[in-house]
Each structure stands twice: as structure tokens, then as C-alpha cells.
Amino acid sequence: MNEHSQSDLTIPKTQTVPSNQASPDTAPDPFDPTKLRLSPNLGAGSAVKKLITTIPVRKPSKEWFVRCHLDAGYRLETNVLELKEDNETYLVAPDLWADLAGESTFSPRALVTAINTGGTLFIWPIRLPNSDGRQDNWSKSATEAVNFACSGWVRVQANMSLGAYEVYGASGALAEPEWPTVPFGEILKIAFRDRYIDSISHPVLRRLRGEV
């Protein structure tokens, strides 16, 4: 008879995998494409809001389709100072208008809020008729383009032989523009933040007088 009794035998316990640990065969695959794929609704409920920090003052590029804001509160007829060589337009404080009346770079403009299909907001400056009511064909055709752009997408292209802009309507059904909810005063502040002349000693005016 075996010298050890059955009760003295030690039976090893079966090892089990803890419930909070997956076996190598069932562990999640970190490269599973269904878990890595972006959701089509990504950002739909996000609280992140794009801030508008730059608004150019310019004519639309000839390849852009653009719209103009229908609300008359988003446009302004005022006087500006335009430096064509620098491609810069400056907003001028009203109390300086009389001093600049004889300056050739100083003239009235309609500042129109516009947007292109890429969502870029810009201010489109349109030359207004001068003191005797005359307006050149470039300005007339640009004004007509703005009127068309209030209700549909248009592309504006200069025709040098015609001496005016040609306006083309979009042939496709482009979506309506998503105008940012920014007051027009804020748009002007952003657009002319570094281009506002409020003093006769402003560097731009000193440069025009030959002082610098």
C-alpha cells in the first residue's frame, strides 16, 4: 500500500485568466479600421467655433464664384485712400476728409461684404461716381456684378478690350452661402484693423506729402 494516504495528496489548482484580462486571441485589435475610421458626423456637435481674424479688402479673384450680402446693413458708402502700388486700401476718419479732398488717391467707395465658395469672407470695394456723377465702365460693371451676386453665384473677369468686367453666372446649383454671424461693424474693424487713418500725421499721409 502507498505510504501516503489519499488525503495527503495535494491537487494543483487550475489557473484561470482574470476576467479583466483578455486572452491574446481575443484582445482588441488596435489596427481595426472600423475603430480608426473618422465618423462622417465628426464635429457636428462640437462646441468649437471658427474665429474670423482676417478679412481681406480686395476685388474677387477671376476664378472665384462669389456672393454679396443682400442686407444693405452689410455695405457702406464712404471715402477711402487707395495705394495701388502697395495694393492697400485705407479707411479714413471723417474729420480728415476735407484735408484730403484734393488727394488723387482719395475717393469714394462702396464697401460690400462678400464671400466665395470656399467660405472666405472679404470686402469688395467698388468705386462710386465722382462729384459730377460720372462713373467709368469698370466701376459700372462691378456695380452690376454686385447686384447679380446678391441673388446668385457669379464669377467676375476683366475684359481689357471691352474696358469692363464680364459677369458669369454659375451653371450648377451651388449651395447658399453660410454667412458668419458677425456684425458689420466688427467686419470693418477686422478688415481695417491696421489700415485706418485717423490722424494727419499718419505714416501713409506723411509718405504722400514726401515727409518720409
CA angle, 130 as apex, 127 and 136 as ends, to 5°?
Answer: 55
Domain ranges of the chain: 66-134+177-208
Helix (H) or strand (E) holding 145: helix 137-149
- The per-residue pLDDT string of the chain (212 residues; one tens digit each, 9 = 90 and over) reads 555 454 455 545 555 545 555 555 678 887 778 777 776 665 555 566 778 899 999 999 999 999 999 999 999 999 999 999 899 999 999 999 999 998 999 999 999 999 999 999 999 999 998 877 888 999 999 999 999 999 999 999 999 999 999 999 999 999 999 999 999 999 999 999 999 999 999 999 999 999 98
Q: Where are the beta strands (DSSP E) in 17-120?
A: 66-68, 75-83, 88-92, 106-116
The alpha carbon of residue 89 and the mean position of all alpha carbons in its chain are separated, in whole angstroms, by 18
Alpha-carbon span 29 to 48, nearest angstrom: 31
Contact 140, 166 (CB under 8 A): no
133 conformational bin, left if phi > 0, alpha if psi -120 to 50, beta if neither? left
C-alpha to C-alpha distance for 212 and 208, rounded to whole angstroms: 9
pTM of the model: 0.75
